[in-house]
A and B are shown apart, each in its own frame.
Chain A
Amino acid sequence: MNPLKPVNRPRFRHASPGAPGANSPARRHVLRAALASACVLPIGRAARATTRTVRVLTAYPDEVLSAFEAGFERAHPGLHVQWIWRMPHDALPYLSEPGQHGVDVYWSASPRTYAALANRGALRRLTIDDAGLPERIGATLLADPAGYFRATEIAGYGWAYDAAALGKLGLAVPRDWPDLAAPGWAGRIALPIPARVGFAPVMVDLPLQAWGWERGWALWSEIAGNARLLDRGATFITDEVGEGRAALGLTIDFFAASAVARGAGIAFGYPQHNGVNPGSIAITAGATDVAAAEAFVRYVLSADGQALLTTPTIRKLPVRPAAYAAQPAAGFNPFAAAAAGGLDYDNDAGRPRLGLIAALFQQWLVLDHAELTALWRRVHDAEAAGRDVTAARAALSAVPLPADAARDPALQRAFEQIEGGAAGGPAAVADGWRNAARVSRSQAAAALEAAGA
């Protein structure tokens, strides 16, 4: 079926002469006035072709939805987008039910949900022209090898910061993750809790892949010791920075960019070791109007759709490299960054362990955070005073789960978590990590005492 050809329905007659009370004096009076008005049409003037609806399940914010709705409907008169909004963890069961609630398209930044849906047979293979759309960026696949979904936008990780606050504190803008472990950042970093904030587990995994399990976790322990933790909820990382409660906040680029577009006086920086989080699109297995669904997918991936992503209030990174040609030379081009080796994070390799990472972070670095921060301050103070606190540093840096054990697929599956969903996993295992962390902190405290710190 041609998606551009509207389905004709019988004409609607505006008035119903046989309706009850049609001849009452009050009604006649108002009708006379109304019919004289510009706001009401006489009988039979209302003929219009019926629109066809594409139901799109998504978790994007209104800035994205409004722009794409307007653009798509302008490009395809007769087709209408209806947004069905659900967070990724809620989308997975919704799209796994029979009939899929009439949803035609799934469009969201949730790689784990797409992988799960494809495995469950809930998606239909895409058959769209992908000319000009790369298969990967850096180490991240942009197209599902099996053809069930394809990235429509990407987002990079990094930090929002208040340049003026950094200047007053004598802190340079960080260039890479290890810079955030410096003592000067103590209490100045806003850090989203990975088990609670959907984008954060991949962010945690970036240094783990870049520096390895032990060194990466040691970095996170020290960064967490410098940080204030932020839960999912009303406040934003960009609020914390923009309103002066933190000098720097770990976040995704578009959050910072949209805050800047709304007037926040902040900037954003990308680390040298980075990766991207792809937002993808797929057509559901039960799509009732495949042609219309494909029209929507094609629009999102088109030059016009990709250009919408660069709107200041949206500012997501297009997956069509040609879209960067129109951007300012100083703008961030992830394809150029990837070519320079800056986007080497492998999403596919990281995905199975993200839930495990978030749970481990929770037990080790979140639940007893006050104690952790106090100990790291003592370590930093002692090191500044020239004392040898190597043992304390080592104890605080020791990850409670060895790398080999973390590679266990069964353990990874036990802690599987969809973006934004509830954390799971065996309590006994999680308690074990927490207890091990307690022991390490006790050892660190004892070592500090012994060193006179």
Chain B
Amino acid sequence: MLAFAPTPSTVHAQARAATPDDELRATVQRGRALFRQNWVIAPSDDRASGLGPLYNRISCVACHAGGGRGRPPERADQRLRAMLIRLSVPGRDAHGGPRPHPRYGDQLNEEGVPGVAGEGRASIDWRTLQRRLPDGTTVELRRPRITLTEPGYGAFGPVLMSPRIGSPLFGLGLLDAVPEAELLRLAAAPRDDGVRGRVNRVWSVAEGRTVVGRFGWKANAPDLRQQIAAAMSGDLGISSTLFLTQNCTPAQAACRAAPITALPELGDADLDDLMRYLARLGAPPRRDADAPEVARGELRFVAAGCAACHRPALPMDAGVFAARLGVPPPVVPDCAGVIAPYTDLLLHDLGDGLADHRPDYRAGGRDWRTTPLWGLGMADALDPPARYLHDGRARTMEEAILWHDGEARAARRRYEALGVSGRAELLAFLRSL
């Protein structure tokens, strides 16, 4: 008796890890297992032991279902789940980064292992506003209002907060291998509409120096390996050789006294497997790229000025990829060495509407890294309903566009002026990515 038969393949990042090479397949599969691993509270003889003592989620996949993006809660009484809140206080740390909150560190960990109080809750409710477009169309937007409640370690006091949903994981290895010189060249290149991209300069733990940042919503991580290790530490409380200490502040005595199985909890080999798995995740192939509406939408995307920052072509050095990540790059469609991430990996001022007013190295409160758009059209298929922008406020791609301001104001206004059909074509193009 048959139970179910194959459905048409959805494009899933996991499938792109398939490879005929045994050694490569083994490292990718180990990395995938770690990505999906639910971590265990110490002490335990489980290999994946060491969750917390403070943490947000118990696995990587909890914030990146299907390799895709997280989302914010829809109501104030719902917990964050696939989202986190960065915390800091005025000033800078020893390396020029945000100064962590003295009691709560640099990230709100809502959960604690038994015996260790969680740090509190972030409650998000939404305020709506109407945006009227030149043709009379009205679009409802919403913005979050965040409230910290149930403090586990005393009053939060004045604190800078930045909400971040889990980022999509497409093509991270390829972005890691975009030459730094290209980012510097792009930052120096003159562009229309007052657009001026800037590189962030962030601390590389491995190199012990300040380097160009390229990962994270504010380009505040220098490379894929550190980005993963930072997330393991900040989100799951899993130490590695890059972040060797437990994520407890001096005020969190129970946290510091919690049992530890071993340090680091994530060994270098495991971190490498995880990195290589993510490095091998390419972007989903485009759908309907030849459809006339999509082709017209692509032209409108360029003409509106979107492509000035969401760049459709970046060079990628396959040799650097292999040297840094220890595996060959995933198959790149189109011409070898050129990828189509629709980003410049640079910081841009996107205006007050999106600002978190929280400096992060050289990124100011209004600055955000240009979000890669590859895989954008798969967001709803991977983990519906998709939410967009750093805090997931945008419920549609159009809402996300309409929040663009600052350096992106001119491009947004051109989009608004397109009319119903022109906007539909541009959105059709985005859905094809």
- Report the nearest B residue to A274, measured CB to CB: B1
- Rounded to whole angstroms, the CA-CA distance of A265 and B356 in the bound complex is 44
Query: Contacts A15-B158, A239-B29 hold; do A270 and B78 have CB atoms under 8 A apart?
Result: no
Query: Contacts A12-B150, A234-B33, A332-B4 hold; do A90 and B121 have CB atoms under 8 A apart?
Result: no
Q: Do the beta carbons of A86 and B90 come within 8 Å of each other?
A: no
Q: Do the beta carbons of B3 and A263 come within 8 Å of each other?
A: no
Question: Which residues of chain B come closer than 8 Å to A19, judged between CB atoms?
Answer: 155, 157-158
Q: Is B12 an interface residue (CB 8 A)?
A: yes
Q: Do the beta carbons of B6 and A265 come within 8 Å of each other?
A: yes
- Rounded to whole angstroms, the CA-CA distance of A77 and B76 in the bound complex is 10
CB distance from B123 to the nearest CB of A (A): 6
- Rounded to whole angstroms, the CA-CA distance of A57 and B358 in the bound complex is 37
Query: Contacts A12-B148, A37-B365, A62-B61 hold; do A90 and B114 have CB atoms under 8 A apart?
Result: no
Q: Is A410 an interface residue (CB 8 A)?
A: no
Q: Which of B40-48, B199-207, B304-312, B405-413 faces chain A? A: B40-48
Query: Contacts A70-B81, A85-B40, A86-B40 hold; do A14 and B143 have CB atoms under 8 A apart?
Result: no
As a 0/1 sequence over residues 62 to 85 of chain A, the CB contacts with chain B under 8 angstroms (1 = contact) are 110110011001100110101111
Interface residues of A in 1-39 (CB under 8 A from B): 9, 12-16, 19, 22, 24, 26-27, 29-31, 33-34, 36-39
CB distance from A17 to the nearest CB of B (A): 9
- Report the nearest A residue to B9, measured CB to CB: A263
Q: Which of B159-167, B215-223, B227-235, B237-245 faces chain A? A: B159-167
Q: Is B10 an interface residue (CB 8 A)?
A: yes
As a 0/1 sequence over residues 365 to 405 of chain A, the CB contacts with chain B under 8 angstroms (1 = contact) are 00000000000000000000000000000000000000000
Q: Is A253 an interface residue (CB 8 A)?
A: yes
Q: Is B210 an interface residue (CB 8 A)?
A: no
Query: Contacts A26-B91, A85-B40 hold; do A33 and B3 have CB atoms under 8 A apart?
Result: no
Q: Is A40 an interface residue (CB 8 A)?
A: yes
Q: Do the beta carbons of A48 and B36 come within 8 Å of each other?
A: no
Q: Is A51 an interface residue (CB 8 A)?
A: yes
CB distance from B126 to the nearest CB of A (A): 10
CB distance from B278 to the nearest CB of A (A): 15
Question: Which residues of chain A come closer than 8 Å to B151, judged between CB atoms?
Answer: 12
Question: Which residues of chain B come closer than 8 Å to A29, judged between CB atoms?
Answer: 90
Q: Do the beta carbons of B79 and A73 come within 8 Å of each other?
A: yes
- Rounded to whole angstroms, the CA-CA distance of A36 and B160 in the bound complex is 11
Q: Is B357 an interface residue (CB 8 A)?
A: yes
- Rounded to whole angstroms, the CA-CA distance of A130 and B156 in the bound complex is 45
Q: Do the beta carbons of B36 and A61 come within 8 Å of each other?
A: yes
Q: Is B14 an interface residue (CB 8 A)?
A: yes
CB distance from A241 to the nearest CB of B (A): 11
As a 0/1 sequence over residues 281 to 303 of chain A, the CB contacts with chain B under 8 angstroms (1 = contact) are 00000000000000000000000
Question: Which residues of chain A come closer than 8 Å to B61, judged between CB atoms?
Answer: 62
As a 0/1 sequence over residues 243 to 282 of chain A, the CB contacts with chain B under 8 angstroms (1 = contact) are 1000000000100010011111111111010000000000
Q: Which of A46, A66, A83, A337 contacts B148 (CB 8 A)?
A: A46
Q: Do the beta carbons of A40 and B36 come within 8 Å of each other?
A: no
Interface residues of B in 361-420 (CB under 8 A from A): 365
- Report the nearest A residue to B28, measured CB to CB: A234
- Rounded to whole angstroms, the CA-CA distance of A62 and B64 in the bound complex is 11
Q: Do the beta carbons of B9 and A265 come within 8 Å of each other?
A: yes
Q: Which of B6, B39, B59, B162 contacts A39 (CB 8 A)?
A: B162
Q: Which of A38, A156, A158, A239 contacts B144 (CB 8 A)?
A: A38
Question: Which residues of chain A come closer than 8 Å to B11, judged between CB atoms?
Answer: 263
As a 0/1 sequence over residues 329 to 368 of chain A, the CB contacts with chain B under 8 angstroms (1 = contact) are 0011000010000100000000000000000000000000
Interface residues of A in 98-150 (CB under 8 A from B): 101-103
Q: Which of A13, A59, A263, A265: most chain B Cβ within 10 A?
A: A263
CB distance from A162 to the nearest CB of B (A): 9
Q: Which of B1, B2, B10, B365: most chain A Cβ within 10 A?
A: B1
Q: Do the beta carbons of A27 and B29 come within 8 Å of each other?
A: no
Q: Is B128 an interface residue (CB 8 A)?
A: no
Q: Do the beta carbons of B65 and A66 come within 8 Å of each other?
A: yes
- Report the nearest A residue to B120, measured CB to CB: A12
- Rounded to whole angstroms, the CA-CA distance of A260 and B161 in the bound complex is 40
Question: Which residues of chain A come closer than 8 Å to B156, judged between CB atoms?
Answer: 12, 14-16
- Report the nearest A residue to B151, measured CB to CB: A12
- Rounded to whole angstroms, the CA-CA distance of A329 and B28 in the bound complex is 38
Q: Is B261 an interface residue (CB 8 A)?
A: no
Query: Contacts A12-B149, A270-B1 hold; do A62 and B59 have CB atoms under 8 A apart?
Result: yes
Q: Is B84 an interface residue (CB 8 A)?
A: no
Q: Do the beta carbons of B356 and A37 come within 8 Å of each other?
A: yes
CB distance from B296 to the nearest CB of A (A): 30
CB distance from A248 to the nearest CB of B (A): 13
Question: Which residues of chain B come closer than 8 Å to A235, judged between CB atoms?
Answer: 26, 29
CB distance from A177 to the nearest CB of B (A): 14
- Report the nearest B residue to A235, measured CB to CB: B29
CB distance from A29 to the nearest CB of B (A): 7
Q: Is B7 an interface residue (CB 8 A)?
A: yes
Q: Do the beta carbons of A270 and B123 come within 8 Å of each other?
A: no
Interface residues of B in 39-87 (CB under 8 A from A): 39-41, 44-46, 51, 58-59, 61-62, 65-66, 76-79, 81
Q: Do the beta carbons of B121 and A51 come within 8 Å of each other?
A: yes
Q: Is B313 an interface residue (CB 8 A)?
A: no
- Report the nearest A residue to B149, measured CB to CB: A48
- Rounded to whole angstroms, the CA-CA distance of A74 and B76 in the bound complex is 11
Q: Do the beta carbons of A84 and B2 come within 8 Å of each other?
A: no
Q: Is B249 an interface residue (CB 8 A)?
A: no
Q: Do the beta carbons of B357 and A61 come within 8 Å of each other?
A: no
CB distance from B71 to the nearest CB of A (A): 10
- Report the nearest B residue to A156, measured CB to CB: B3
- Rounded to whole angstroms, the CA-CA distance of A235 and B355 in the bound complex is 43
As a 0/1 sequence over residues 103 to 125 of chain B, the CB contacts with chain A under 8 angstroms (1 = contact) are 00000000100110000110100
Q: Is A407 an interface residue (CB 8 A)?
A: no
Question: Which residues of chain A come closer than 8 Å to B3, judged between CB atoms?
Answer: 156, 158, 253, 257, 268-270, 331-332
- Report the nearest A residue to B112, measured CB to CB: A82
- Rounded to whole angstroms, the CA-CA distance of A5 and B184 in the bound complex is 57
A residues contacting B by CB (< 8 A) are 9, 12-16, 19, 22, 24, 26-27, 29-31, 33-34, 36-41, 45-48, 50-51, 55, 59, 61-63, 65-66, 69-70, 73-74, 77-78, 80, 82-87, 90, 94, 101-103, 156, 158, 163, 173, 233-235, 239, 242-243, 253, 257, 260-270, 272, 331-332, 337, 342
29 contacts between A and B (CB under 8 A): A12-B156, A15-B155, A16-B155, A19-B155, A26-B91, A27-B158, A30-B158, A34-B158, A38-B143, A45-B147, A46-B123, A46-B147, A48-B149, A62-B36, A66-B62, A66-B65, A70-B81, A74-B78, A83-B58, A85-B40, A87-B40, A101-B41, A102-B115, A234-B33, A262-B10, A262-B14, A262-B66, A265-B9, A332-B4
With A50-B149, A85-B38 known, 7 other A-B pairs at CB within 8 A are A14-B156, A15-B156, A16-B158, A48-B76, A73-B77, A260-B6, A262-B10
- Kindly list the 10 A-B residue pairs having the minimum CB-CB distance in the complex, ordered from nearest: A234-B29, A30-B90, A85-B38, A16-B157, A48-B149, A332-B3, A234-B33, A263-B12, A16-B155, A37-B357
B residues contacting A by CB (< 8 A) are 1-7, 9-12, 14-15, 18, 25-26, 29-33, 36, 38-41, 44-46, 51, 58-59, 61-62, 65-66, 76-79, 81, 89-91, 111, 114-115, 120-121, 123, 127, 143-151, 154-163, 355-358, 365
